[in-house]
């Protein structure tokens, strides 16, 4: 159901179609309502309907929440999936790195998506090429996920290097300040981890 919802959001389906799908999954509807009501939306009053929640989120943010919910509901529906925090951190870190390179919102969104989806093969215990076949992805995102090539693949390799105990490969990946200088990377990583922690709390309930 989540994959179907993500396909709808990414293909530009209208809110009425997406709402109808949510109504077939009461638990997901509850999760969506809780997320919109709790994650710093600056709302003066609580969201009382699915249609209102979808309007407040918008297509861009809806795609993000659905990508994260894949991890919150992964591994047989386990509610405390450790991959959620790692995926959220990857997505946000890649977005922040992409922001250093370009002011283009679409490219930052693709970077976020690449980071989030880079762990789906682990979550679903399915080869990445089979995972990608189920979701219509931009070509550069798919290439980054499968072969770590292209600009997004480079950012993903930077993020993966940061996760390793031995970061010896990092200086070469950050050569010439691309996507940022070694001095900046730690600050960016702290921002990404702080964001991912808040998302995990809101998604899983704390």
pLDDT at 102: 83
Percent of the chain past pLDDT 70, that is, above it, reads: 87
User: Does 150 have pLDDT greater than 80?
Assistant: yes
Model pLDDT for residues 35-70, shown as the tens digit of each residue: 777 655 566 666 768 888 888 888 888 888 888 877
User: Given the structure tokens 């997505």, which residue do they identify?
Assistant: 91
- Name the pTM for this structure: 0.75
User: On the CB side of 128, how many CA atoms lie within 13 Å of its CA?
Assistant: 15
User: Does 85 have pLDDT greater than 90?
Assistant: no
Contact between 22 and 151 (Cβ < 8 Å): no
Provide the token pair at 114: 């690449």
pLDDT at 141: 92
Handedness of CA 183, 86, 46, 2 (dihedral sign): positive
Model pLDDT for residues 63-73, shown as the tens digit of each residue: 888 888 777 66
CA-CA distance, 17 to 57, in Å (whole number)?
Answer: 15
Tell me the helices (H) and strands (E) count for the chain, helix number first.
13, 0
Model pLDDT for residues 117-142, shown as the tens digit of each residue: 898 888 878 899 988 887 778 899 99
pLDDT at 38: 66
User: Does 195 have pLDDT greater than 70?
Assistant: yes
Closest CA to 199 of 51, 19, 46, 72: 72
């Amino acid at each position: 159901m989540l994959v179907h919802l993500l396909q709808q959001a990414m293909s530009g389906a209208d809110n009425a179609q997406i709402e109808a799908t949510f109504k077939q999954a009461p638990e997901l509807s509850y999760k969506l309502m809780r997320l919109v009501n709790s994650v710093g939306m600056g709302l003066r009053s609580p969201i009382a309907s699915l249609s209102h929640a979808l309007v407040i989120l918008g297509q861009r943010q809806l795609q993000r929440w659905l990508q994260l919910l894949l991890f919150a509901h992964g591994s047989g529906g386990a509610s405390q999936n450790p991959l959620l925090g790692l995926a959220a951190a990857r997505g946000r870190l890649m977005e922040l790195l992409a922001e250093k390179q370009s002011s283009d919102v679409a490219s930052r969104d693709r970077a976020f998506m690449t980071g989030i989806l880079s762990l789906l093969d682990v979550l679903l215990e399915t080869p990445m090429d089979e995972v990608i076949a189920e979701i219509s992805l931009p070509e550069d995102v798919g290439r980054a996920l499968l072969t770590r090539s292209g600009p997004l693949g480079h950012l993903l390799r930077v993020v993966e290097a940061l996760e390793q105990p031995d970061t010896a490969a990092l200086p070469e990946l950050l050569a010439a300040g691309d996507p940022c200088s070694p001095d900046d990377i730690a600050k960016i990583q702290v921002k990404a981890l702080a964001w991912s922690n808040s998302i995990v709390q809101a998604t899983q309930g704390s």
